Amino acid sequence: MGYVDWSLQGLELSNCNCDHGCPCQFNALPTRGNCRASVAMRVDRGHFGEVKLDGVVWAGLFAWPKAIHEGNGEAAVIIDERATEEQRNALLTILSGAETEPGATIFNVFASTFTKMHPPMFTRIEFEGDLETRLGRLIVPGVVEMTTSPIKNPVTGAEHRATVNLPHGFEYTSAEFCSGSTKTKSGAPIAHDWDGRHAHLALLHLTPHGPVR
C-alpha cells in the first residue's frame, strides 16, 4: 500500500504520571495502574505531501484508565493557531495514525487504543526545549502548562543524567530522561495535575514507515 509522503523532524517534550523512567519504556505496567500524559513537538522540518510543516507546533493530552495497550483511552490534540488550514489538516491526518504503515509510529499504535477523541483545538502554543539541559516548557494559555528539568540526586541535589536508547522504538531512538510537571487549566478537555514525574526530551524524525535512525 502506498502512503502520502510525510516527515516530521523536531524536538519532542513528553511528561506522564509515572515515576521517573516510565515503565512503558520497558514493556512494564504503569506505576499507578493508569496512564496520563502530555506531549508537545516543535516541527523544525516537515511536510505532508506538498504541504510544508516547518515551524508548526502541536501538543496533545492523553489518558488511559489502565495500561495503554488495554485501550479505552481519550485524546485531545492542540495545534498552534499560526498553522494554516492546510497545515492543520495535514497534522491531524498524521497524528491520527492515518497514512502510516501499521505499527510503524507511535501515532498509529496509539490510535488503536483511543475510544474518545476530543475536538481539536487551534490556539496559541508557547514551546521551549533544550536537549542538553533537559529544560523544557509548554504553555497553552487557559489549557495546560508543562515543564521539564533535570532529575536531582535526593542526597546531594546534583543533576542526574540518564539517556535511554530504544533501537527499535516507534517514537524515538534516543531520549534524555528527566523530571516533569503538568497542570491543566479549566479549558482543558482532559485533566492532569502532577509534579516531579517521568519526562523525556527527544529529537524525532518520523515518516510513514517509522523513525529514521
Using CA atoms, how far apart are residues 134 and 170, in angstroms rounded to an integer?
21
In this structure, the strands spanning 121-123 and 73-80 are parallel
Question: For residue range 112-145, what is the model confidence (pLDDT) as tens digits?
Answer: 999 999 999 999 999 999 999 999 999 999 999 9
| pLDDT over 70, % of the chain | 100
pLDDT for the residue numbered 2:
85
What mean pLDDT is predicted for residues 142-162?
97
Using CA atoms, how far apart are residues 167 and 93, in angstroms rounded to an integer?
26
Using CA atoms, how far apart are residues 48 and 62, in angstroms rounded to an integer?
24
H/E stretch holding 92: helix 85-95
Q: Which domains are present in the chain?
A: 6-211 (2.40.400)
pLDDT for the residue numbered 31:
97
Contacting residues for 51 by C-beta, under 8 A, at least 6 apart: 86, 87, 90
Question: For residue range 29-49, what is the model confidence (pLDDT) as tens digits?
Answer: 999 999 999 999 999 999 999
**Position 1 pLDDT exceeds 80:** no
H/E stretch holding 118: none
**Position 186 pLDDT exceeds 90:** yes
**Position 213 pLDDT exceeds 90:** yes
pLDDT for the residue numbered 146:
98
pLDDT for the residue numbered 15:
98
pLDDT for the residue numbered 170:
95
Helix and strand numbers (H, E) in the chain are: 2, 16
pLDDT for the residue numbered 38:
98
Confidence grade of residue 159 (pLDDT, cut at 50, 70, 90): very high
